[in-house]
């Protein structure tokens, strides 16, 4: 970890006495270890959005900051104390707008003293958040938008305190600009007069909150997070006591409001306000209500999208600033370490993922496939490997997996490590093996993207957890005993010996570990069943240990058939479980690409006699959850559940993908489902023998959201995994 040493010229900061301030556990740990911290304001929770959108947005934004290697510090006032960083339950209480027992005020600079003196609870505006963040040494603050000069403000003198605060508080405010209901040109003029630099991210156009173009330019375009960090540091080096505004345009795909129509709406609303005698602080909420009414709720969707985007950019800026100060030998206030991965849930690793890491190389012809030996085209590199995909999806969903894998000490391995570093994914458990080749898949596609041929080199996966070095600490058996994970995920790429190590570890823990087996492919899926032949125990005892270990399996339709065929060949299926059930009415409309629903359903039921829970990935049809031992409730209104004779239960969880919408790529969708599912199980604290149907079905529903995000990107795991999907509307 990198540590930032003392800055040669300390900033003049405000001071908050210790009895007036409360830090969250996460922020306290960040300050102790010197991790980059990003300030977040709480007004969107109490006054900016309706419930539950306010809660989902606040928690989602914090998660985005963590994923980018920084620590979120949502700032609010609770019971007369300034809180820097909020626990989840505190955010939930602030977000509950129906709770009238604790009124929530909105505090700016003017109000802070009174709110503390009266012991009130409330949110902090941009101005108040800037004061508090600067006082505790936070340099980067992410918000939706800033206040400004109000329409007719040159007559009413109605100017937001946000602007005056920016002129006297050294804080970088990352925002989507200024709402169009305000006077944007006069706001920019005011900021210029007060000496506040206003820049835009990757454009010269200054954004207007709901739209990326306000019709006015900022003073400069900042090309990258590093470019923004350089500006912030230069301001600090000069000892300037003013802030900086970094305008980040709303993502193009989130723009749903026409700028011209919005302006017409605002002008009409201003006339209405004047006729109705609405003035002062009541004008802004009146205008916002009119905007929401005219845009048919689209303004809310835009608000959620832009704050998420601002958090993504702002947290990258915070990390870049920490790196810049460290590299130049500068000083960062309280001594900051560079965070390279999100903070852990606990000192112990809850989740271990064991499996393959690949470099996927895709070569695509730019025209129809040429008969020549070479032709023009494009070549792209991306991260792959079933285990790696699962680990990333788990991590992006808020989990803290210790990923055990192997790559070669070769150029491909260097690319893998660089790409993992780019997404801030932990690499501690990945061993770089000398004289080995990193797992690679080289696919050749025609100009339409259809596969022509491919070459796979996956020999290194046999070395995962079976180190060739003399260091026993790299052996899987040692790693498991050392980390003591409560949740273990394995993909079928790993060796039989590695699978045996997992069985032995589970037995050492009294089989009170939730272990998930991802079958990976038809040729490899039976590897877990074949362990019975390699055991020194009797077949009955051997299978008892295998079943007790691998409590959940996640095959696709083709793998269900292959595993059943292999189990029958070893006489593992009793005759009484070879009965076939008719398809219930609830499932008749389910359609899969790999087989009729009758065969899939009965195959899953038969397989559930061998494993405690079977989660069958059905592609576009969603997933079946099948169990005879665990009662399965419904996880959503769209799910269907059927109970069969013999105690078998099946829940069908439909896909969140909308029919008729093109799929960008299906690669990684199933892996994303598994990774997010395991993260959800760990978060719910349901381990091993205590595995219950409610937690399981809810976890699969969360996994379906991750799968839906994966379908819309070329990457195996979407960067949006971990973000709430509402009936697919946030996906397509």
Query: Would strands 623-627 and 613-617 be described as parallel, antiparallel, or unpaired?
Result: antiparallel
Shared domain for 245 and 388, answered yes or no, is no
Pair 301, 400 in one domain: no
Please, what's the largest Cα pairwise distance for the chain?
A: 90
Say whether pLDDT at 307 is over 50.
yes
Indicate whether 467 belongs to any domain: yes
What is the pLDDT at residue 468? Answer: 63
**Average pLDDT for 466-480:** 74
CATH code of the domain containing 238? 3.40.1790.10
- Residue 688: is its pLDDT beyond 80? no
Q: How much is the average pLDDT of 164-192?
A: 89
Q: Clarify whether residues 323 and 417 are in a common domain.
A: no
Is 336 inside any structural domain? no
Nearest-angstrom CA–CA distance, 290 and 270: 10
Q: What percent of the chain has pLDDT over 70?
A: 82
Higher-confidence residue of 91 and 369: namely 91
* Cα–Cα distance, 171 to 463 (Å, whole number): 49
pLDDT at 331: 40
Most confidently modeled range among 362-376, 429-443, 511-525: 511-525
At 372, which CATH number?
3.40.1190.20
User: Does residue 345 fall inside a structural domain?
Assistant: no
Residues 144 and 190 in one domain: yes
Residue 314 host element (H or E): helix 298-327
What residues have CB less than 8 Å from 293, skipping those under 6 apart? none
Report pLDDT for 248: 94
Mean pLDDT of the chain: 81
- What ranges in 328-368 are assigned the alpha helix state H? none
Check if the beta carbon of residue 667 is closer than 8 Å to that of residue 358: no
* Structural contact between residues 514 and 688, judged by C-beta atoms closer than 8 angstroms: yes
Residues 312 and 223 in one domain: yes
The answer to whether residue 269 sits within a structural domain is no
Is pLDDT larger for residue 514 or for residue 469? 514
- Alpha carbons 129 and 94: distance in angstroms, whole number: 16
Band (583; pLDDT cuts 50, 70, 90): low
Within-domain flag for 631: yes
pLDDT at position 726: 45
Mean pLDDT of 171-200: 90
Q: Is the pLDDT of residue 623 over 90?
A: no
Spatial neighbors of 87 by CB under 8 A, at least 6 apart, are 24, 25
Give the range of the structural domain holding residue 205, as residue numbers without chain letter: 18-257+295-327
User: Are 142 and 182 contained in the same domain?
Assistant: yes
| pLDDT classification of 552: cutoffs 50, 70, 90 | very high
**Which residue, among 140, 131, 21, has the nearest Cα to 85 in the 3D structure?**
21
Q: Which pLDDT belongs to residue 494?
A: 93
The pLDDT value recorded for residue 604 is 84
Task: Give residue 342's pLDDT.
Answer: 36
On whether both 322 and 368 belong to a single domain, the answer is no
Q: Are residues 506 and 470 in the same domain?
A: yes
Which pLDDT does position 456 carry in this prediction?
85
728 vs 565: which has the higher pLDDT: 565
pLDDT at 545: 92
Kindly tell me if the per-residue pLDDT of 59 is higher than 50. Answer: yes
User: Which residues carry out catalysis?
Assistant: 41, 179
Top mean-pLDDT range of 145-149, 376-380, 615-619, 647-651: 615-619
Q: What is the model's pLDDT at position 5?
A: 32
Identify whether 265 is part of a domain: no
Q: Is residue 328 very low, low, confident or very high in pLDDT (cuts 50, 70, 90)?
A: low
**Which of 206, 126, 106 minimizes the C-alpha distance to 172?**
126
Is the pLDDT at 339 greater than 70? The verdict is no
Give 600-621 pLDDT, tens digit per residue.
888 888 888 889 999 999 887 8
Name the band, by pLDDT with cuts 50, 70 and 90, for residue 330.
very low
CA 352 to chain centre: 18
Q: Is residue 422 domain-shared with residue 313, that is, in the same domain?
A: no
Q: What percent of the chain has pLDDT over 90?
A: 29
356-369 pLDDT tens trace: 999 988 887 876 55
pTM for this model (two decimals):
0.55
Q: What is the dihedral of CA 337, 342, 348, 350, to 10 degrees?
A: -170
In this predicted structure, what is the pLDDT of residue 267?
A: 78
Any domain includes 726: no
pLDDT of residue 3: 35
Give 230 or 322, the one with higher predicted confidence.
230
Q: Tell me, what's the pLDDT at 731?
A: 37
Q: Find the mean pLDDT for residues 586-597.
A: 65
Q: What pLDDT is stored for residue 13 in this prediction?
A: 47
Question: Could you tell me which residue, 123 or 642, shows the higher pLDDT?
Answer: 123
- Coil, strand or helix at 219: coil
Residue-wise burial string across 249-271, b where 16 or more C-beta atoms lie within 10 A, e elsewhere: bbeeebbbbebeebeebbeebbe
The DSSP result for 577-590, as a single string, is G---PPPPGGGTT-
Task: Look at residue 338 in the predicted model and tell me its pLDDT.
Answer: 38
* Cross-sheet strand order for the sheet of 487-491: 430-433, 401-408, 351-354, 487-491, 514-518, 550-553, 613-617, 623-627, 648-653, 640-644
The predicted-structure confidence for 239-289, as pLDDT tens digits, reads as follows: 888 999 999 998 877 676 676 777 777 778 878 888 888 876 677 777 777
541 with 441, same domain: the answer is yes
Q: Is the pLDDT of residue 448 over 90?
A: no
Where are the extended beta strands (E) located within 205-252? 221-222, 244-247
pLDDT tens digits for 94-123?
Answer: 888 777 777 788 888 999 899 999 999 989
Total domains, the chain: 2
* pLDDT tens-place string over residues 3-57: 333 333 334 445 565 678 888 888 888 887 778 999 998 888 888 787 878 888 8
The answer to whether residues 232 and 357 belong to one domain is no
Q: How far apart are CA 556 and CA 594, in angstroms?
A: 9
Q: Which two tokens stand for residue 208?
A: 């207007």
How far apart are the C-alpha atoms of 84 and 136, rounded to whole Å? 9
pLDDT of residue 691: 78
The mean per-residue pLDDT over the stretch 661-680 comes to 84
Beta bridge partners of 442: 361, 455
Residue 340 lies in a domain: no
pLDDT: is 529 or 180 the higher one? Answer: 529
pLDDT on residue 1: 35
In the predicted structure, residue 334 carries a pLDDT above the cut 50:
no
Q: Which of 177-191, 304-318, 329-343, 622-636 has the lowest mean pLDDT?
A: 329-343
* In the predicted structure, residue 344 carries a pLDDT above the cut 50: no
The answer to whether the CB of 393 falls within 8 A of the CB of 675 is yes
Same domain? For 565 and 640 the reply is yes
């Amino acid at each position: 970890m990198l540590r930032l040493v003392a800055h040669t010229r300390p900033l003049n900061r405000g001071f908050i006495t210790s009895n007036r301030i409360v830090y969250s556990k996460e922020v306290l740990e960040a300050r102790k270890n010197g991790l980059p911290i990003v300030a977040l304001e709480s007004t969107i929770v109490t006054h900016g959005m309706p419930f539950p959108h306010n809660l989902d947005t606040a928690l989602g934004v914090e998660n985005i900051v963590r994923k980018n290697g920084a620590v979120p510090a949502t700032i609010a006032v609770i019971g007369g104390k300034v809180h820097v960083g909020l626990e989840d339950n505190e955010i939930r209480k602030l977000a509950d707008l129906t709770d009238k027992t604790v009124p929530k005020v909105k505090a700016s600079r003017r109000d802070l003293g009174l709110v503390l003196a009266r012991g009130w609870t409330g949110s902090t505006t941009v101005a108040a958040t800037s004061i508090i963040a600067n006082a505790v040494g936070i340099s980067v603050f992410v918000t939706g938008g800033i206040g400004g000069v109000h329409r007719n403000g040159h007559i009413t003198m109605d100017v937001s305190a946000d602007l005056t605060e920016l002129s006297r508080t050294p804080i970088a405010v990352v925002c989507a600009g200024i709402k169009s209901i305000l006077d944007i040109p006069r706001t920019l003029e005011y900021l210029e007069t007060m000496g506040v630099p206003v820049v835009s991210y990757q454009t010269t156009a200054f954004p207007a909150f709901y739209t990326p173009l306000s019709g006015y330019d900022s003073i400069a375009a900042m090309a990258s997070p590093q470019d923004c960090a350089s500006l912030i540091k230069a301001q600090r080096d000069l000892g300037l006591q003013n802030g900086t505004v970094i305008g980040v345009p709303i993502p193009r795909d989130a723009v749903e409001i026409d700028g011209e129509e919005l302006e017409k709406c605002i002008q009409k609303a201003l006339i209405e306000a004047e006729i109705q005698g609405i003035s002062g602080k009541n004008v802004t909420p009146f205008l916002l209500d009119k905007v929401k009414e005219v845009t048919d709720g689209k303004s809310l969707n835009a608000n959620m999208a832009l704050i998420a985007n601002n958090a993504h950019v702002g947290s990258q800026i915070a990390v870049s600033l920490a790196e810049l100060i460290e590299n130049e030998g500068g000083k960062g206030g309280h001594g900051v370490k560079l965070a390279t991965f999100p903070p852990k849930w606990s000192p112990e690793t809850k989740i271990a993922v064991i499996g393959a890491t690949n470099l996927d190389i895709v070569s695509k012809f730019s025209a129809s496939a040429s008969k020549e030996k070479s032709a023009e085209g494009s070549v792209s590199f991306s991260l792959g490997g079933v285990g790696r995909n699962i680990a990333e999806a788990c991590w992006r969903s808020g989990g803290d997996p210790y990923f055990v894998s192997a790559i070669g000490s070769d150029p491909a391995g260097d690319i893998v490590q660089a790409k993992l570093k780019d997404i801030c994914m932990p690499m501690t458990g990945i061993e770089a093996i000398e004289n080995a080749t990193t797992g690679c898949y080289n696919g050749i596609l025609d100009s339409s993207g259809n596969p022509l041929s491919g070459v796979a080199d996956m020999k290194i996966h046999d070395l995962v957890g079976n180190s060739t070095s003399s260091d026993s600490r790299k052996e899987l058996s040692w790693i498991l005993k050392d980390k003591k994970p409560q949740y273990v995920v394995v993909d079928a790429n790993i060796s039989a010996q590695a699978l045996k190590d997992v069985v032995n570890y589970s037995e050492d823990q009294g089989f009170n570990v939730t272990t998930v087996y991802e079958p990976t492919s038809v040729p490899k899926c039976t590897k877990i069943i074949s362990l019975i032949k390699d055991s020194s125990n009797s077949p009955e005892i051997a299978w008892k240990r295998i079943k007790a270990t691998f409590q959940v399996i996640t095959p696709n339709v083709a793998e269900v058939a292959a595993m059943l065929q292999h189990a029958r060949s070893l006489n593992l299926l009793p005759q009484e479980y070879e009965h076939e059930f008719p398809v219930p009415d609830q499932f008749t409309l389910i359609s899969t690409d790999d087989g009729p629903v009758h065969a899939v359903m009965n195959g899953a039921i038969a397989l559930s006699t061998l494993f405690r829970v079977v989660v069958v990935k059905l592609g576009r049809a969603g997933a079946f959850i099948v169990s005879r031992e665990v009662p399965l409730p419904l996880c959503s209104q769209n799910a269907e559940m059927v109970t069969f004779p013999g105690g078998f239960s099946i829940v069908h969880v439909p896909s969140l993908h909308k029919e008729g919408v093109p799929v960008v790529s299906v690669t990684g969708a199933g892996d994303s489902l598994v990774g997010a599912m395991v993260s959800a199980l760990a978060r719910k604290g349901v381990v091993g023998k205590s595995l219950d149907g409610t937690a399981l079905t809810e976890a699969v529903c969360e996994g379906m959201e991750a799968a839906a995000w994966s379908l819309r990107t070329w990457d195996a795991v979407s960067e949006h995994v971990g973000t709430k999907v509402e009936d697919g509307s946030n996906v397509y």
